[in-house]
């Protein structure tokens, strides 16, 4: 039940945390003093109930590896520059049809999300079965006080360091009535599920718990703006995401920000995960510039990367009522999650497969085709028209 680890990856394997996938389809993270003790004291006693066990892995996420981040204080930034991403995807032409993401839930599996930020506060999905702050799991779902999302990792957050999840969330749902950023789907709801710590690292086991949590809360779209080395392709992560795709959820992944030099790599030859899984209901996203080109750090792949979306100089929400620009495929992925939320709010009966098909078959094609399977950049307005044609609306 413990697959052999390569020498390269052996150092990342936890000796005390174990990801257990049970025969009933659930997943838990269990602890023991050593792999040997876990086998003898836990696995042997539950063997008939266990489907697979992986040693958990701790790793540093590939996030913000090339970002230029600075405070907006004192900057003279035009409204057009603040929101060039949604504008480049023609999101306003969808909003003008009173399509703004209403009724759609997006899971943000990432770092900390500042649920008090004025542009996010109204768009956090409330768990009405939970009483906040009483230290009790009121709804019996295994999580205490998950009134506005959940923190799976146990570290105390430092908002000065843990900004990524708030930034990603603002790209998807920032409420323009409450500030300066236009979220792509400003009336959708998000479920924050944190597994990334202050150092940008996390455990695969925590990621799996977070993924299953947002699915259990009703998310139709899961945004994953993070990436792992090839050796992190462990069976329980693959199985979890395969199950979610098969259940009809749309998985949106960031293609990744290149190699150690910040140079984009061809994912057809050099895969990273979870972006390279290419499940049926998965969209893998590269980062494009204002000039409709792939930015140099963005991974690409004519088979394994599907579309591009704005991912350079993207202003969004950060903790403590702040705003910052960031670069990365981490920013491009939530652009696509937002567009998917718009489409699903317009055609609630659509399937994830139809949403994906509409997005991929309606891209804007630059003069020089991009090295992604669709060849182009997401266009919200054309995607909505394509979805209506596909579904007969």
| CA distance linking residue 211 with residue 222, whole number of Å | 8
Query: Which one from 110, 146, 327, 382 is the annotated catalytic residue?
Result: 110
Closest by CA position to 307, among listed 377, 357, 226, 386: 377
Closest by CA position to 165, among listed 133, 207, 216, 134: 207
Active site residue 330: yes
Active site residue 139: no
Query: Which one from 164, 288, 316, 373 is the annotated catalytic residue?
Result: 164
Rg of the chain in Å (alpha carbons): 20
**Is-contact 92 146, C-beta < 8 A?**
no
Cα dihedral 327, 332, 333, 339 sign: positive
> Which residue(s) pair with 59 in the sheet?
202
| CA distance linking residue 358 with residue 374, whole number of Å | 11
Active site residue 110: yes
Per-residue buried b or exposed e for 111-145, using 16+ beta carbons within 10 Å of the residue's own CB: bbbbbebebbeebbbebeebeeeeeeebeeeebeb
**Is-contact 170 339, C-beta < 8 A?**
no
Query: Which one from 12, 298, 316, 330 is the annotated catalytic residue?
Result: 330
**Is-contact 45 1, C-beta < 8 A?**
no
Q: Is the preceding omega at residue 127 within 30 degrees of 0, hence cis? A: no
Residues designated as active site: 110, 164, 330
């Amino acid at each position: 039940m413990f697959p052999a680890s390569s020498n390269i990856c052996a150092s990342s394997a936890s000796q005390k945390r174990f990801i257990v996938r049970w025969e009933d389809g659930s997943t838990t993270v269990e602890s023991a003093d050593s792999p040997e003790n876990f086998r003898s004291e836990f696995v042997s006693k539950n063997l008939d109930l266990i489907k697979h066990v992986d040693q958990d892995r701790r790793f540093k996420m590939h996030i913000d590896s090339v970002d230029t981040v600075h405070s907006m204080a004192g900057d003279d930034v035009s409204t057009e520059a603040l929101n060039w991403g949604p504008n480049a995807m023609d999101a306003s032409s969808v909003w003008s049809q009173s399509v703004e993401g209403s009724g759609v839930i997006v899971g943000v599996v990432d770092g900390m999300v500042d649920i008090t930020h004025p542009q996010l506060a109204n768009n956090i999905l409330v768990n009405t079965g939970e009483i906040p702050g009483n230290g009790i799991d009121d709804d019996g779902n295994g999580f205490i006080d998950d009134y506005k999302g959940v923190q799976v990792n146990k570290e105390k957050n430092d908002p000065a360091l843990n900004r990524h999840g708030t930034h990603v969330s603002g790209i998807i749902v920032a409420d323009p009535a409450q500030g300066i950023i236009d979220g792509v789907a400003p009336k959708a709801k998000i479920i924050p599920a944190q597994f990334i710590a202050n150092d940008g690292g996390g455990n695969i086991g925590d990621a799996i718990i977070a993924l299953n949590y947002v699915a259990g809360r009703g998310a139709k779209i899961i945004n994953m703006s993070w990436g792992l080395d090839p050796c992190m392709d462990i069976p329980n992560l693959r199985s979890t995401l395969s199950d979610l795709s098969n259940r009809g959820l749309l998985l949106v992944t960031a293609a990744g920000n290149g190699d150690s030099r910040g140079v984009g790599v061809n994912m057809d030859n050099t895969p990273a995960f979870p972006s390279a899984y290419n499940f049926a209901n998965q969209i893998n996203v590269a980062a494009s510039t204002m000039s409709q080109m792939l930015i140099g750090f963005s991974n690409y792949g004519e088979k394994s990367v599907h579309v591009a979306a704005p991912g350079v100089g993207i202003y969004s929400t950060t903790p403590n009522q702040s705003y910052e620009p960031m670069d990365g495929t981490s920013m491009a992925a939530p652009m696509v999650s937002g567009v998917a939320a718009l489409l699903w709010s317009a055609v609630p009966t659509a399937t994830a497969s139809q949403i994906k098909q509409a997005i991929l078959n309606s891209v804007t094609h630059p003069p020089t085709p991009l090295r992604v399977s669709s060849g182009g950049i997401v266009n919200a307005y054309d995607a909505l028209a394509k979805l209506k044609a596909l579904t007969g609306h």
